[in-house]
Amino acid sequence: MIDFELPPMLKMVKDMAHSAARDAFRPISRKYDDLEHTMPEEIRPLGAMMAQSMGGGPPKKKDKDKDKAEKKPKVATEDVVGATMTAVVGAEEMAWGDCGLMLALPGQGLGNAAISAVSTPEQYERFGTKYASMAITEPGSGSDSGSISTTAALDGDEWVLNGEKIFVTDGERCEVVVVWATVDKSAGKAGIKSFVVEKDRPGITVTKLEHKLGIRASDTASIVFEDCRIPKDNILGSPEIKTKTEGFKGVMKTFDNTRPMVAAIATGCARAALEFTKETLEKEGYVFRYGLSKHNLNAVEKELLMMEAELEAMRLLTYRAAWMGDNARPNSLEASISKAKCGRMGSKITQRCVALLGPIGYSREMLVEKWMRDCKINDIYEGTQQIQQLVVARNILGFSSKELK
């Protein structure tokens, strides 16, 4: 029997996150949309409280060497409710309140998911609860993460980083930056690893803050690394470099964690717009008749009910990707499917809500136009719609990145 109900623990997370979104995010949502680049000080305590209440973010890492005897992952007879599912349930609710403010929560960023994905237990102890951003994109490297040119050279007991990163979410406010860099350009993608760089290190400079369409409560920065030195063990994962077998493949595990999170954010934002639109239309006398054939519905009914169905599909795809990750099942395909579906449909739903509401939707007196602006980013970062479709096609058809571009 398939059970679509959330267990009690996740219901508690959902309720807590919804309360925070309603009582802490919504009242200041417009304020920090207008005050771009201003840190929302009101939510700093909330970040620590959410991390503690939700188990401190991602789970503590286990020592893989101690678990080699149990090399085969156990297929659970009962669902394991882990950090990824907890994160996506909370993310949907907080994004229902405000996407930008959610991304600005200390300790809850995309960099934290990266640290959780590939760090050693010791590294997780050092960096797991830091306010972490993630730096991937470069002026000459966008969706093709394999073309990264930022370098990391080992010099004694330190790595020396040189290069430039752009579109770094929370790049100015964060405590540490997870930086993707190549340790051997001749090795191609296999030479790419991720490093944790503390913001107070000499040689790291924030050079620019972007003015954005949406998620304006969260800063987006450009960062330059000039002979920036970090300890040797700040490379995520094993300090040993095995460029022919690891590198890019290991680093890409980050996306299996972050793409369901982005999908959940898109779902929460679209849900906010759809709920507001339906409530507004009901006040105007619209009645939404469930159970009828679509041919017996009027145009507005049909569109709203179809959007509700799409929203439910978005949520279930996201839950599946998260569940697989928590239950030690490869989820790269499902993570990309959820991100592609939610990114595209989230934008479509919020745009149609603005259109259906007419002047109310377009006015800044309401938040629905802001939700439309905020939601668009979920179809772009963490891999564009086109990239997700490529990942899905390669996985289903069994093609490599060289065979299907």
Residues with a known catalytic role: 382
3-state secondary structure of 404: coil
**107 backbone φψ class: left, alpha, beta (φ>0; ψ -120 to 50):** left
Distance in angstroms (rounded) separating the CA atoms of residues 7 and 311:
21
Both tokens assigned to 296 = 């017996």
Distance in angstroms (rounded) separating the CA atoms of residues 249 and 246:
6
Both tokens assigned to 236 = 């995520």
Q: Beta strands 204-209 and 158-169: pairing type?
A: unpaired
Judge whether 197 and 114 are in contact, CB under 8 Å: no
3-state secondary structure of 184: coil
Separation of first and last alpha carbons in the chain? 40
Q: What are φ and ψ of residue 166, in 5° steps?
A: -125, 165
Distance in angstroms (rounded) separating the CA atoms of residues 377 and 366:
20
Judge whether 51 and 108 are in contact, CB under 8 Å: yes
Distances 288 to 45, 92, 298 between C-alpha atoms, Å: 41, 25, 9
